[in-house]
Amino acid sequence: MKYFEIEKISAKIEDALIHGRTMDDNDETLLANLQDIIQQQGNIACRLILQSMVNVDLDSEKAMACWLKVLDHRLSMTSALGRQVRLLPAFCDFFSSQADCPHDMKLVGTESYEQVVNDTIHDSLTGIYNRNYFSQALEQQFSLAQRYDTDLTILFMDVDDFKDVNDTFGHQAGDMALQSIARVISQEKRESDLLARFGGEEFVLLMPHTGNINGFILAERIRQRVAELQIDSNGLTFSVTISGGIASFPGNGNSPDQLLRRADSALYQAKGAGKDTIAQYKMDKRRYLRVKFCQEIKVRELGFHDSEQFYGMTKDICSGGILFKNNKELAIGLRIQMSIPIHQDEPLILIGTVVRVEAYSENNFDIGMAISFKEMEKIANHEISDYLKRERILE
């Protein structure tokens, strides 16, 4: 059974145990709740109940048989004593009367058991999920993305020159750097995203319902936040950077392993491009045919509200986007509207997202705008909806 499924069952058992403590003195509510969990989840629930209550670990079938024997033993004790016997004393009396009773049996609190489960799926240094849990979650999320035809993006990250950090400042400082990076990413990611330490200085972020462009925008924000970190260790202050690679379903992979490998491949492209950068996976750097295209354009931030309009000059165009130059720096992730006077009376209007900015001088920038016609439709609908809301408020 997968880690996250065991975690869910364990959480239900913990809730039942906590709830049972406060409801009555004879455990009938607790017993009814545990029976419901067993009926829904099967023998594995019995195994987890035994582990949680008396620290006894049996395989699932033996655990079910043991559970039934304990219930019978509880009835026998109740009859012999003339009063209702609670579940936990019945457990202890049953095992103590067995010749093959486990020698390490002991009572454990639900908090202790929760800690054991937590330790199996989390990284001990950073507190985020570990590689095993991530692998299970990736399989599940990939299956859901396939079934419901939704986007799924992976960001694979690696700390640049991490060996130099350990060699210069010591391994304790290296551990502090990893903890700080994990904390920054955790703060920047969305609640639905899953962050894990993949191994060593590698991190991986799983982003359900997220396309390549939006994944890139989040990745770029994470990269910038990490670069701003100031890490203090033994009176010394240092900073680190990360490189990252992005791959997305359905465009970049048809299996969980392939998607992960291609995010890793994009990471190495980022390393080769000079580090402290984010690269998107492409099977071929010339994935789209680029055509030289020089045309004066009008650009402004997307929205029906008044916004500054400025002029630029396109450099080349492909089916995936446009590269243009202008004298104004734009933020990565900014949604812009571009007007291209292809026909004198009917200019071509494009909506896109800024995904690349290169500065050549104070007033000379190359801007890469990604175009997705599916995304254009969503953005346009969103802007129209916002406009109509504002108009109703004004009325």
Q: Which of 237, 260, 280 is the last residue of a domain?
A: 280
Q: Which domain holds residue 86?
A: 3-121
Same domain, 359 and 256: no
**Whether the bond into 341 is cis, omega within 30 of 0:** no
HSE-CB at 343 with a 13 A cutoff on CA atoms is 5
In a domain, residue 393? The reply is no
Same domain, 178 and 227: yes
pLDDT tens digits along 336-361? 888 888 766 677 888 888 888 888 77
pLDDT tens digits along 81-112? 888 888 888 887 887 776 555 545 554 555 55
Q: What is the largest CA-CA distance in the chain?
A: 99
DSSP per-residue letters across 192-227: T-EEEEEETTEEEEEEET--HHHHHHHHHHHHHHHH
Same domain, 146 and 99: no
Q: How confident is the model at residue 286 (pLDDT cuts 50, 70, 90)?
A: very low
Same domain, 219 and 349: no
Residue found by looking up tokens 């770029």 in the block: 220
Same domain, 250 and 138: yes
Q: How far apart are CA 203 and CA 183, in angstroms?
A: 12
Same domain, 273 and 148: yes
Q: How far is CA 311 from CA 110, 234, 299, 328, in A?
A: 65, 52, 6, 9
pLDDT tens digits along 6-43? 767 777 777 777 666 544 556 788 888 888 889 888 88
The residue type found at 166 is N
270 forms bridges with which residues in the sheet? none
Same domain, 266 and 306: no
pTM over 0.85: no
Same domain, 108 and 135: no
Q: How far apart are CA 290 and CA 286, in angstroms?
A: 8
In a domain, residue 394? The reply is no
CATH number (domain holding residue 307): 2.40.10.220
Of the candidates 87, 108, 110, which has an alpha carbon nearest to the alpha carbon of residue 18? 110
Higher-confidence residue: 5 or 156?
A: 156
CATH number (domain holding residue 175): 3.30.70.270
Q: Which of 252, 280, 308 is the last residue of a domain?
A: 280
368 forms bridges with which residues in the sheet? 323, 356
Over residues 270-294, the mean pLDDT reads 73
Q: How far apart are CA 321 and CA 317, in angstroms?
A: 6
In a domain, residue 142? The reply is yes
User: Which residues contact residue 213 at a Cβ distance below 8 angstroms, ignoring those fewer than 6 apart?
Assistant: 353, 355, 370, 372, 375
Q: How far apart are CA 356 and CA 360, in angstroms?
A: 13
What is the per-residue pLDDT for 180? 95
Q: Which of 225, 260, 280 is the last residue of a domain?
A: 280
As for how many domains the chain has, the answer is: 3
Alpha-carbon torsion (183, 186, 187, 189), positive or negative: positive
Same domain, 295 and 348: yes
Q: Strand 296-301 and strand 309-318: pairing?
A: antiparallel
Contact 321, 369 (CB under 8 A): yes
Same domain, 92 and 144: no
Same domain, 45 and 115: yes
Same domain, 135 and 272: yes
Q: What angle do CA 207, 337, 221 make, to 5 degrees?
A: 35
